[in-house]
């Protein structure tokens, strides 16, 4: 029996050695896996930090762009205050129509006119009579003396007055 006990003791030791080897292999496998996981985590962390910094830079760029847009809008609103308003444009249009710049004379026209007049004077021709063009008043328009001067009377007068009011809103007979 001592041999059987010895055999059982050796079997137990062999079994324990096998179990220790299995545990050691599991431990080394686990430590390798842990090392790989740690390396992956470090790489992932580096990537996240890189992305985070890139995101921060993009946010800074967006803030800078937003500030530039704000400055541009502020500048545009200040410039818009200097633009002419609609009523100012209407007033200018009214004065331009009143002055009728198409009838203005150019420098070349003045020179030509002066040269013509000088030639006329040198030749001794009489001065031409200037004919003024005035608004034609319809024959049906009769004038009647009133307290304030003359006043238009009749259907023709109404047509004449309304036609001139359409052309010039400030016209008052």
State the Cα–Cα distance between residues 165 and 172, nearest whole angstrom: 8
- Decide which of 89 and 128 is more confident: 89
pLDDT at position 166: 52
CA 76 distance to own-chain centroid:
8
Residue with structure tokens 């055999």? 7
Residue 172 has pLDDT above 90, yes or no: no
pLDDT tens by residue, 8-35: 889 999 999 999 999 999 999 999 999 9
What residue segments make up the domains of the chain, in order of their start? 1-83, 85-131, 132-162
Task: Using alpha carbons only, give the angle 83, 89, 95 rounded to the nearest 5 degrees.
Answer: 140
124-157 in b/e burial notation, b at 16+ Cβ within 10 A?
eeeeeeeeeeeeeeeeebeeeeeeeeeebeeeeb
State the Cα–Cα distance between residues 166 and 152, nearest whole angstrom: 17
> How would residue 164 be classed by pLDDT, with cut points 50, 70 and 90?
very low
pLDDT tens by residue, 101-159: 777 788 898 899 899 889 988 888 777 656 555 444 444 434 443 444 444 444 444 44
């Amino acid at each position: 029996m001592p041999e059987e006990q010895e055999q059982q003791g050796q079997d137990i030791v062999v079994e324990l050695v096998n179990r220790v080897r299995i545990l050691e292999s599991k431990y080394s496998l686990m430590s390798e896996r842990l090392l790989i996981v740690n390396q992956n985590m470090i790489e992932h962390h580096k990537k996240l930090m890189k992305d985070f910094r890139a995101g921060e830079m993009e946010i800074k760029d967006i803030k800078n762009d937003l500030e530039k847009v704000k400055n541009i809008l502020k500048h545009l609103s200040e410039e818009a205050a200097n633009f002419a308003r609609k009523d100012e444009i209407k007033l200018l249009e009214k004065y331009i129509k009143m002055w009728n710049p198409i009838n203005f004379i150019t420098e070349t026209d003045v020179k030509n006119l002066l040269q013509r007049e000088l030639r006329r004077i040198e030749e001794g021709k009489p001065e031409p009579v200037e004919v003024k063009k005035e608004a034609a008043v319809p024959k049906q328009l009769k004038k009647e003396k009133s307290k304030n001067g003359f006043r238009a009377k009749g259907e023709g007068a109404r047509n004449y007055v309304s036609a001139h009011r359409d052309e010039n809103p400030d016209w008052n007979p």
